[in-house]
Structure 1
Amino acid sequence: MSATAFPISPLLPEIVRSLDAHSRLVLEAPPGAGKTTQVPLALLDAPWLAGRRIVMLEPRRVAARSAAMFMARQLGGEVGDSVGYRIRFETRVSARTRIEVVTEGILTRMLQDDPMLEGIGALLFDEFHERHLAGDLGLALALDVQSGLREDLRIVAMSATLDGERLAQCLDAPRLSSQGRSFPVAIEHFPARRDEALLPQVRRAVEHALARHPGDVLVFLPGRREISQLEAALAQAGSGAQATGVEVLALHGDLPVEQQARVLQPAADGRRRVVLATNVAESSVTLPGVRVVVDSGLAREPRYDPNSGFSRLDAVAISQASADQRAGRAGRVAEGFAYRLWPASQRLEPQRRPEIMQVELAGLALELAAWGDADLRFVDPPPSGAMAAARELLQRLDALDAQARITPHGRRMLALGTHPRLAAMLLAARDDGERALACDLAALVEARDPLRARSDGWRERWLALAAFRSGRAGGDAHRGTLATVDAAAKQWRRRAGAKAPPRADLPAHALGDLLAHAFPDRIGRVHARDPQRYQLGNGRMARLADDSTLRGEPWIVASELRLEAKDSLLLRGAAVDEARLREDFATHFVERDEVRWDAGRRALVGERVRRFDGIVLDARPAGRVDPVLAAQALSDAVAALGLDALPWSEGLRQWRARVQSLRAWLPELGLPDLSDETLLATRDDWLRPLFAGATRLDALSAEAFGEALRARLDWALRQRVEQLAPARIAVPSGQERRIEYALGADGAPQAPVLAVKLQELFGLAETPRIADGRMPLTLHLLSPAGRPLQVTQDLRGFWERTYPEVRREMKGRYPRHPWPEDPWNATATHRAKPRGT
């Protein structure tokens, strides 16, 4: 295809001109427009590039290879000459390479290893709408490099379906759009039969499409397993595909290069084809001859799995944008047809959610620590809670120090390019044999379960892998999965420098001894009275299934847990040797005096405790309680019991409500936060010193507690509180009456209340206000007996409209109290009339 045949071609000169004038650009173009292959070629001769390289980020390996091969052919060369690519475990570049297509992890390593990006003039982020975590991180790092080191660096974010306006505003970049070229596509929802599973429904839809429509059929499925199952079903005698001689091909990221290239080229013999693809075919590659799309509506995307501590690929419903892209694949060469296998009534999310909002972030936190700056310009900032959890894990793995700075060990972990848990395990190996075993474990943890029958032990899975290597894998394992695991283990051995697979005669604890370094927070010791329960290093409890292969082991490591309210259920784990544990985790075994709060006795208990992290190995009475530990234990007891355990007076509660109310009404005052959450979070600063020398909570006096709380405001701010939110206010009767302050359940201030007898306000026209006139008081106007007659914030309106009715009703009931016809000019009083008047 010539360059002029692409829909993007008319826009290429404007793209070049824009990057001449601006260092950033957002480019929107639909699938098939040619942006992936034509934009890099159009920029090769730009004056600002000055002979330097263009690096294009491509999220998927299939697309990276395909784009590099296509551009190389257009330039009349081979891959590795002017155009090359780098993906995980595979590199085809040379000193002559001007355009380098890389996958996401590769770009991050390039930026970390050389922030100056020597010899690189432009970074292109293709398919940015997929919003992979690595792509978001790569863009944030690139923007940081551009703003601080390389103002001449060009950054282009390219997308098929994206909120381009929002991204352009975020990047402060121009935005260009190409309309592309496509033919109409008719869309029909293909209903499932009663209780029909997905694959039979897909098979029926494919056979229906082959019978009703011309051209090739593209089928979107969640992943490799579904592709293999449908491929087998379509190959059966009697199926529509088999009977008509249609060629069935798979397309996913793990295929060999030759098979991928075969799918991306037209059939040599002109036969019709059915292509079974993951969402790699959504926008990243072009498939010739497709006239029909069958869309399962599912894709495998990363989601955080709290059971394992990793992000896992889960089959989830696609977004509406993805559904539109998939359907559009049928309209590239002529009018097409799309069958959707979900009900027409089902509503999809408009856009794909960014991975950064829904995956585990330990890898991101480690990358940012290595970069030295976490305050980067992300399109969507990482959630603070997920980042805090990620940093806590990295500190457990010794990747970060107490100040959250990366350690030398953390840098070695980062260089391995895998999840920090697995990196820690790979680095823990002592010799070549353990390195090989760690490589096996890394491959097993990242793969699907190879066992058909349920088992909670890693040893059974590794033994199945060892049997596969010896040619004797049994029927209780998936041979295809074991082959994938074996191939991944070979790649890991190449990277880790292990020469051969591990020996088959491993000690029983060998796997657990390594896995403990990946899951130090999930090392467990058997409960003294229940062999099915284990106390874990993170303080939680775990239980074994009744048929567990780990029953009776003194120490285990749990790599997967089903988190439950009480004891978590161990799904997968391994036995650990205590002697090895004491060697590798010597600093985690400690003996010290501890003081804890005994809720039953409501007193402190001092003990001499031996523990491994959160696991108590032994405890005995310690005698005298250390005063420093006692103060900390009492402070922690308040955190567990709540602030109500402290000696609050009503006056102190009112004072805190006044401060919190003024914080909301007059934020410019800069009053400190006295909410429960903040007081508990800062208790070591203000509360713990109050417990010096104490061993019981009731040793704290109300006076000392009140003064400590008030001391959080300096003298000037205390005076402002008294002026702006007074505890009492003078009323026309000459008396001072109390103002009631209150906070809602959410901590928000309620309207302040002044309860006062109606006669005390004669002559007052306007509702009293506080907080520099910003807050009217809510008046509870009381009868002489102290019962509410009216609640209002509009005193003038009460006198004008409501008082005459109140007067008529109350005058006879309370004759000894004044009920003048003209309350505006009557004398306010808090007394009754003398008897006989």
Structure 2
Amino acid sequence: MLPIDEFLPQIERHLATQSNLVLQAEPGAGKSTALPLSLLNAAWLKGKKILMLEPRRIAAKSIAHYLSRQLGEPVGQRVGYQIKNERKIGKETVLEIVTEGILTRRLQSDPEISEIGLILFDEFHERSMHGDLSLMLALEIQQSIREDLKLLVMSATIDTGMMSKYMDGAAVIECPGRAYPIEMEYRPASRESIVARVMAALRSVLGSSESGRYPHGDTLVFLPGQGEIKRCLKEAKENLGADGDILFLPLYGGLSLAQQEQALVPDPSGKRRVVFTTNIAETSLTIAGVTCVIDSGLEKLLIYDPVSVMTRLETTHISKASAEQRKGRAGRTQAGRCIRLWDEAKQRSLRDYQGEEVLSADPSSLVLELCMWGAGNYEDINWLTPPPEAHYRSAQNSLIALGLIDSKNKATELGIKASSIGLPPRLAALLLKAEGNVETQIAGDLAALLSERDIFIPNNGSDIVARLLALQLYRNDRSAALKEYPLHRFAVEQLKTNALSLKRILKRSIPIYDVSLEQMQTVVGKLLLFAFPDRLGKSRGSGNGRYQLANGRGVFLFDDDPLYGSEWLVIADCDAQKKEGRIYSAAAIEFDLALENLENQLVEKELVEFDPKKQKITGRRVTEYGAIQIKSVAMTEIPPEKFQQCLLQVFELRGLEILNWTPRCEEWLGRCQWLGQHLKSFPELSKTNLLNTLEDWLLPYLANINSIAELKKINVFELLLGTLSWEDQQTLSTQAPIEYQTPSGKNVAIVYDSQQGPTVSVQLQEMFGEIESPKIAGGQIALRFELLSPARRPIQTTSDLGNFWKTSYFEVAKDMRGRYPKHRWPEQPLLEKPGKSIKRR
């Protein structure tokens, strides 16, 4: 008996009277198996069918086979499934298990879904973008035209409160799972590679089970991605499986379904298995015989960059919910063991739930589907979790450029066709824009090639044309193709199947043509431009493998790549790393062909800019495609308005110092700033203010200037004076004077120090007879005097001369007489004649 069994009557009663339900059932409860079977003959269905959404193809197929065996029937009788390129559904089928793309197409093409009474959303915690979309569409159908439609969302780990609220207050039923005790072990992270740490854990697992301490079962190893799986497989086969008693298997989405299925069933000869997997094995899939889980705690996510409209792959830590799902795999059939390659402190810091795909992935397909649904306005959509608005707008712009939607967020005729193909929008556009039989044949092969994993084994270059030629030879002579090209046999067979499927979708009966290398290169470059117009790349220089893309990003090729040295490329796949991304698949294209296909999108403009080497402003007429400069011709004459506009930009970058900015200018501006701070009637002036008003006081005098050398010949000081009225100039002269005249008649510069205020540095004897400190700025501020010794060193600083003569002068004079006996230090300084400090003979 499964834990879900005692909850089945409650679930049936609720669905009989209510429209929506959220079921939280822990791993092993039987929600994906026992529950669907129990609902097949529910009276409230009134003879209608059940649609069950499974996010992963292998899970959909596996569950369909399992349920059919439970009924003693072949798949396709009462229980069927439909996944990409595979359909097992018959006239008697009442439970259809489908993947996300299939369900979306079903809802789009037949919004009434009159044959369907219940939609089950399994493993909804995965929060895939199209899973969210399908639930959104189903709720809208339910609320508008199908009040009788039932919706049941199921998951082991999900925020049930959020789901209940989104589904109009749906009830929540919680069901425990069936799990045996699992012994936990945490291993703190180290500087060793993830492969080395996995191998160390695996050695301990295999050794301890041989000793009898732990059950003698299979081991499931969770790794972030395909690369880590392949490295672990190689290491394990070389160092742990020499005697052949252990079977090491991979399990990830890029494998064929047949290869994936091999990892799900026990070995017929009874060998122990170690399955290296991604998060594909986290839920839904039951891998028989597993008693131990080794968890790296990592997963790989595609992160969308809305600026470049590209994605990059990032390795990140899993959530607590995912960790629990993975752990549960070890205790499905008996007591087990789970080794986590992180410590308990890290476990506490993990986020609670898995991140929603819609927050990080490319939303182009989602946007196209919403525009098809008539709900393309971001603000009006009933989001479960909204994507970042910048991502959504970026995807809209990309779809408009592809011709799939219009500026009013309506799907075009091309967009409607593209949506029905089941390919990403770019590849659908490529396929639909092909003309003639040869182009269409190549387009089908190309779209199929780019939608699945690489048919070449790793590190064999990025050339798409080479792969299509390999496929062509494989069709004609399989053994010759396998000898000549580094082909993955399973991958190329899958490619053939997918290409044939696309032909059927297009309803085109096209004979297979043998295409020459030259023709293939021409057509592939053209077709790729249909799909990736923003990824046309121009070499940054001969022989360096670095390219400037039209979208503004930089990418590179390794120097052993067959395409290295090509001047122009169209890039189908690359990563969007922060500096420069690596090119994974591309094709060379002739410049003239690229120009022919992009002619209507070229932009011509006059570019006027400052040349720091020549120290002058230069002009060019340029032709651009996005961030790529196609053509550049020097301008013989620069229009005055463009020249002055460029000058303004130069001033913004270089400041006023690029002018003939003399110390006199600096001193004048300092006086103005100081006076403006203390005299409200005086205008406020600063470098910022002057830069903001260049068009008023400077640009009218620069009409015939075209170099920095000529600019520096201008008498800037005279132009600065012109910024003040005659009255303000007089005020500046009297209230913030340049100099102070001592009682002896000597003129001494006033330094307008921003911290200390206006200061005069003068020999003490020059000030004899000055009764008090003079005041400026309308009598508000007293001058500050720095009184100097005969050696021109400061001996006293004061802004109150009157008090100085009465008090501290006498202490200063007493000290100075001893040090400078030949100089004047009188007892009555105010009666003394000002002038030189030395005594007269």
Give TM-score, length-normalised by structure 1.
0.67
Structure 1 counterpart of 2:499: 492
Structure 2 counterpart of 1:91: 87
**Mind listing any 5+ residue stretches in structure 1 that lack a counterpart?**
651-693, 700-783, 788-812, 814-837
Structure 2 counterpart of 1:576: 589
| Aligned partner (choices 178, 183, 187) of residue 184 of structure 2 | 187
| Cα offsets for 1:740-764 (capped at 9, x unmatched) | xxxxxxxxxxxxxxxxxxxxxxxxx
Alpha carbons of structure 1 residues 317 and 473: separation in structure 2 relative to 1, 3 Å: farther
In 1, Cα distance between equivalents of 2:66 and 2:5 = 16
In 1, Cα distance between equivalents of 2:354 and 2:532 = 31
Structure 2 counterpart of 1:242: 244
Structure 1 counterpart of 2:339, one-letter code = Y
In 2, Cα distance between equivalents of 1:696 and 1:298 = 62
In 1, Cα distance between equivalents of 2:433 and 2:289 = 52
Structure 2 counterpart of 1:355: 357
Structure 2 counterpart of 1:17, one-letter code = R
How far does residue 109 in structure 1 lie from its aligned partner after superposition?
0.7
Pairing 1:78–2:89 present: no
The answer to whether the Cα contact below 8 Å between 2:179 and 2:331 also exists between their aligned partners in 1 is yes
Residue pairs, 1:332-371, within 5 angstroms: 332-347=332-347, 348-371=350-373
Structure 1 counterpart of 2:5, one-letter code = S
In 2, Cα distance between equivalents of 1:357 and 1:164 = 19
In 2, Cα distance between equivalents of 1:412 and 1:587 = 24
Structure 1 counterpart of 2:550: 537
The answer to whether the Cα contact below 8 Å between 2:610 and 2:646 also exists between their aligned partners in 1 is no
Structure 2 counterpart of 1:12: 8
The answer to whether the Cα contact below 8 Å between 2:20 and 2:171 also exists between their aligned partners in 1 is yes
Structure 1 counterpart of 2:569: 556
In 2, Cα distance between equivalents of 1:257 and 1:251 = 10
Residue pairs, 1:753-832, within 5 angstroms: none
Structure 2 counterpart of 1:41: 37
Alpha carbons of structure 1 residues 394 and 205: separation in structure 2 relative to 1, 3 Å: farther
Describe the SS at the equivalent of 2:103.
helix
Alpha carbons of structure 1 residues 553 and 275: separation in structure 2 relative to 1, 3 Å: closer
| Aligned partner (choices 396, 404, 429) of residue 399 of structure 1 | 404
Alpha carbons of structure 1 residues 47 and 228: separation in structure 2 relative to 1, 3 Å: same
Structure 2 counterpart of 1:165: 161
Structure 2 counterpart of 1:617, one-letter code = K
| Cα offsets for 1:323-376 (capped at 9, x unmatched) | 212222222233221122344553433321111111111111111111110433
How far does residue 194 in structure 1 lie from its aligned partner after superposition?
7.4
How far does residue 572 in structure 1 lie from its aligned partner after superposition?
4.8
Describe the SS at the equivalent of 1:219.
strand
In 2, Cα distance between equivalents of 1:238 and 1:522 = 45
Structure 1 counterpart of 2:177, one-letter code = G
How far does residue 298 in structure 1 lie from its aligned partner after superposition?
3.4
| Cα offsets for 1:95-118 (capped at 9, x unmatched) | 221111001111111111111112
In 2, Cα distance between equivalents of 1:640 and 1:376 = 47
* Higher Rg of the two aligned structures: 2
Identify which range, 539-548 or 103-112, moves more after superposition: 539-548
Structure 2 counterpart of 1:390: 395
Pairing 1:120–2:116 present: yes
How far does residue 137 in structure 1 lie from its aligned partner after superposition?
1.2
Identify which range, 615-624 or 109-118, moves more after superposition: 615-624
How far does residue 492 in structure 1 lie from its aligned partner after superposition?
2.2
The answer to whether the Cα contact below 8 Å between 2:278 and 2:299 also exists between their aligned partners in 1 is yes
Structure 2 counterpart of 1:282, one-letter code = E
Structure 1 counterpart of 2:405, one-letter code = L
Describe the SS at the equivalent of 1:122.
strand
In 2, Cα distance between equivalents of 1:525 and 1:85 = 46
Structure 2 counterpart of 1:672: none
Structure 2 counterpart of 1:207: 206
| Aligned partner (choices 101, 106, 109) of residue 102 of structure 2 | 106
Identify which range, 424-433 or 543-552, moves more after superposition: 543-552
Structure 2 counterpart of 1:56: 52
Alpha carbons of structure 1 residues 202 and 134: separation in structure 2 relative to 1, 3 Å: farther
Alpha carbons of structure 1 residues 187 and 608: separation in structure 2 relative to 1, 3 Å: closer
The answer to whether the Cα contact below 8 Å between 2:81 and 2:96 also exists between their aligned partners in 1 is yes
Pairing 1:147–2:143 present: yes
How far does residue 515 in structure 1 lie from its aligned partner after superposition?
1.5
Residue pairs, 1:394-543, within 5 angstroms: 394-445=399-450, 446-448=452-454, 450=456, 452-453=458-459, 455=461, 457-462=463-468, 470=477, 471-472=479-480, 478-480=486-488, 483-496=490-503, 497=508, 499-500=511-512, 503=515, 505-507=517-519, 508-525=521-538, 536-538=549-551
How far does residue 397 in structure 1 lie from its aligned partner after superposition?
1.2
How far does residue 542 in structure 1 lie from its aligned partner after superposition?
6.3
In 2, Cα distance between equivalents of 1:367 and 1:385 = 18
Alpha carbons of structure 1 residues 175 and 637: separation in structure 2 relative to 1, 3 Å: farther
Structure 1 counterpart of 2:517, one-letter code = D
Alpha carbons of structure 1 residues 598 and 86: separation in structure 2 relative to 1, 3 Å: same
In 2, Cα distance between equivalents of 1:277 and 1:548 = 30
Identity %: 35
Aligned-pair Cα RMSD in Å = 4.6
How far does residue 584 in structure 1 lie from its aligned partner after superposition?
3.6
Structure 2 counterpart of 1:421, one-letter code = R
| Cα offsets for 1:50-76 (capped at 9, x unmatched) | 111110100111211122122223333
How far does residue 473 in structure 1 lie from its aligned partner after superposition?
5.8
**Mind listing any 5+ residue stretches in structure 2 that lack a counterpart?**
657-672, 674-694, 701-778, 783-802, 804-841
| Aligned partner (choices 163, 173, 176) of residue 176 of structure 1 | 173
In 1, Cα distance between equivalents of 2:85 and 2:497 = 11
In 1, Cα distance between equivalents of 2:94 and 2:594 = 51
Alpha carbons of structure 1 residues 190 and 527: separation in structure 2 relative to 1, 3 Å: closer
Alpha carbons of structure 1 residues 230 and 554: separation in structure 2 relative to 1, 3 Å: closer
Alpha carbons of structure 1 residues 564 and 604: separation in structure 2 relative to 1, 3 Å: farther
The answer to whether the Cα contact below 8 Å between 2:310 and 2:576 also exists between their aligned partners in 1 is no
Pairing 1:24–2:20 present: yes
Describe the SS at the equivalent of 1:17.
helix
How many residue pairs end up in the alignment?
652
Structure 1 counterpart of 2:600, one-letter code = T
Structure 2 counterpart of 1:671: none
| Cα offsets for 1:284-316 (capped at 9, x unmatched) | 023344322233333444443789955566554
The answer to whether the Cα contact below 8 Å between 1:598 and 1:604 also exists between their aligned partners in 2 is yes
Alpha carbons of structure 1 residues 7 and 521: separation in structure 2 relative to 1, 3 Å: same
The answer to whether the Cα contact below 8 Å between 2:431 and 2:440 also exists between their aligned partners in 1 is yes
Structure 2 counterpart of 1:458, one-letter code = I
Describe the SS at the equivalent of 1:214.
coil
Give TM-score, length-normalised by structure 2.
0.67
| Cα offsets for 1:27-54 (capped at 9, x unmatched) | 1001111111222223333343211111
Identify which range, 5-14 or 609-618, moves more after superposition: 609-618
Structure 2 counterpart of 1:799: none
In 2, Cα distance between equivalents of 1:162 and 1:264 = 26
Structure 1 counterpart of 2:404, one-letter code = A
Structure 1 counterpart of 2:586, one-letter code = G
